[in-house]
Structure 1
Amino acid sequence: MPDITKTTRSTALTRLHWAAWAVFPVALSAVLRKRGGFYYRQTAQLVAMAFCALYGVLASLTLPIIGKAHLINWSVARLYYHTAGYLTGLTATIEGKEHLNPKRSAVYVANHQTNMDVLFMASVFPKATSVVAKKALKYYPFLGWFMTLSKAIFLDRKNRESAIKEAKQAAQDIHKKKTSVWLFPEGTRGFADKLDLLPFKKGAFYMAVQARVPIVPIVIANYNHLYDAKAKRFNPGNVKIKVLPPVDTTEIDESSESIDKLANNVRQMMLTTLNDISTTPLPNNNNSPPASQLHITASTSSSSSSLDKKTQ
């Protein structure tokens, strides 16, 4: 007859074995989220991104069936923020949430510092919003699949005609489908080690003017003291994010001069805010006016644009 004691003991050890495998990663992440170094946090956020992209594929296939397609990107963003934020010890404090109105279509523009912007973007990402991204991301495993299924707008930066066509189609979708889009108007990662912004590309502003929807600037404070890939620095901490009032575009024409003025006004507004909410002072920059001259409100931006139109 089989030894019942040995069988029971073996079953108990097996259960303990699987329990250990389940508990160990959780316990390890609880310790390392505050004490782990650069490579741990970098790996953790990549694993979280892959996991959330896989969820995004499933969400893109199932949520439209129950009439919740507008929650696809939002739910993926929230899941990524809480998962990657927990594993890395990064959090965000958001000011101006009242300017995020999912019932109103808008073009959201944010500054771009590093690849960690995705995490901070996830903390404030609105419902019923699509992303505009470079075409190369379309071919990434998991992430590209999710973005394709969630109707992301891919722009081919090397093909200007294709990019213009996609931007015009996006403007039509914003107007007809009552959706919003999120872009990084700098076009690529800008300055991570100083408080400055690259010149803005005009696509986001043409898109907003063509769709007759407001631009909502979102500014992520400089976090170089927390994350710097070159210096292999990745520390836990909190980053401030400020959502600025919507900038009206209904009175702005589609001329190149008007679009340039709109883009420059929004850039100056965001540069001032970047200086205000970051922990280090803005370095001297001869190409930028003093911060005291950069406080431009949405209403004055819109009014000046209207006046320019009348005097043209």
Structure 2
Amino acid sequence: MVHSQLAGGSSSVWASTWCHRVSTLIGLRWELRGKEHLAKDQACIIVANHQSSLDVLGMFNIWHVMNKCTVVAKRELFYAWPFGLAAWLAGLIFIDRVRGEKARETLNDVNRRIKKQRIKLWVFPEGTRRNTGALHPFKKGAFHMAIDQQIPILPVVFSSYCTFLNDKKKILNSGRIVITTLPPVSTEGLTKDDIDVLMDRVRSQMIETFRVTSAEALQRYKPIKRGGIPAASSASTSSSSTTTTVASPGTAATPVADAAVAAAAAVASNSSAYGQPPGYGAGAAKASLLKTL
């Protein structure tokens, strides 16, 4: 079962094409940076931040760049259709976190194959998706796997969804997301004793990239009041009055980016800042997608 999943094939191409069309339908635009790192023919563990089921759309939007890739996802994602359907058709590896021993057996089997076949393994180390304008603590599984096979970690960062997505209020507007692939982080010579240092290093790099790209996305964001009338610089106002940051121990402060991300989070919590641009309706297909978030 795992072998066939790792093989990829036409189903992955179909899922990628289908997800690209869904992104177009709901008004999402994905911009990939650092393509050269993602396109390199090498085995690696990709670690990406996890904000929403929309991450699956972004992942499949760049699927053609990655060549051979498979994904580890929690079993619950399978039931988040239509994302789960596309994931299943593409051969994602679903693990049951309740059955810990079975999950470990599956991952060990995968890990033995990825280096030999030069496969990229995509993991969301935060575990649970949370659209809060911050990166949350990582679980160690992906880093154990990378060190075990002495293959690099490849960080991938999605900029904040806060300017167009509100999970609690079930609001999804059109939006632009920057996907940044950072240079690979080597694990050669590292042992299990180095996992915490490696994890902190990767997470710090991802947090800084998340700040910068999210701030850029916010600069291009123009809130729409209900009725289609542009809001009067609500994002910039929030930026100047908000002091919340997403800083974490061991990362350098970037006040402008921090304020911008905080402003995006403030926009996400305020339903009045969300409106549909003229001509952009929430049709039946879009309403169905919102139920999976």
More helix by share: 1
Kindly name which structure, 1 or 2, has the bigger radius of gyration based on alpha carbons.
1
Alignment-derived partner of residue 228 in structure 2: none
Q: 1:78 to 1:152 in 2, by over 3 A?
A: closer
1:127 to 2:67 alignment:
yes
| TM superposition shift of 1:140 | 7.2
Q: Deviations over 1:144-182 (max 9, x none)?
A: 676566543222212332222222212101123321211
Indicate conservation of the 8 Å contact 1:80/1:119, yes or no: no
Indicate conservation of the 8 Å contact 1:222/1:274, yes or no: yes
Higher relative contact order (CA 8 A, sep 6+): 2
RMSD: 2.9
Query: How far apart in 1 are the matches of 2:72 and 2:31?
Result: 24
1:118 to 2:36 alignment:
no
Alignment-derived partner of residue 180 in structure 1: 120
* TM-score computed with the length of structure 2 as normaliser: 0.67
- Give the counterpart letter for 1:265 in structure 2: R
- Give the counterpart letter for 2:202 in structure 1: V
For structure 2, the residue ranges without an aligned partner over 5 or more in a row are 219-238, 255-293
Indicate conservation of the 8 Å contact 1:133/1:154, yes or no: yes
Query: How far apart in 2 are the matches of 1:73 and 1:104?
Result: 22
Indicate conservation of the 8 Å contact 2:12/2:90, yes or no: no
Equivalent of 1:244, from 174, 177, 182?
Answer: 182
Q: Deviations over 1:204-223 (max 9, x none)?
A: 11111112211110000001
Alignment-derived partner of residue 132 in structure 2: 193
| TM superposition shift of 1:121 | 1.7
Equivalent of 1:264, from 179, 194, 200?
Answer: 200
Indicate conservation of the 8 Å contact 1:71/1:127, yes or no: no
- Give the counterpart letter for 1:241 in structure 2: I
Q: Identity over the aligned pairs, expressed in percent?
A: 34
Indicate conservation of the 8 Å contact 2:15/2:87, yes or no: no
Indicate conservation of the 8 Å contact 2:126/2:139, yes or no: yes
| TM superposition shift of 1:284 | 2.9
1:288 to 2:275 alignment:
no
1:228 to 2:166 alignment:
yes
Indicate conservation of the 8 Å contact 1:73/1:127, yes or no: no
For structure 1, the residue ranges without an aligned partner over 5 or more in a row are 1-60, 294-312
Q: 1:209 to 1:72 in 2, by over 3 A?
A: farther
| TM superposition shift of 1:74 | 4.5
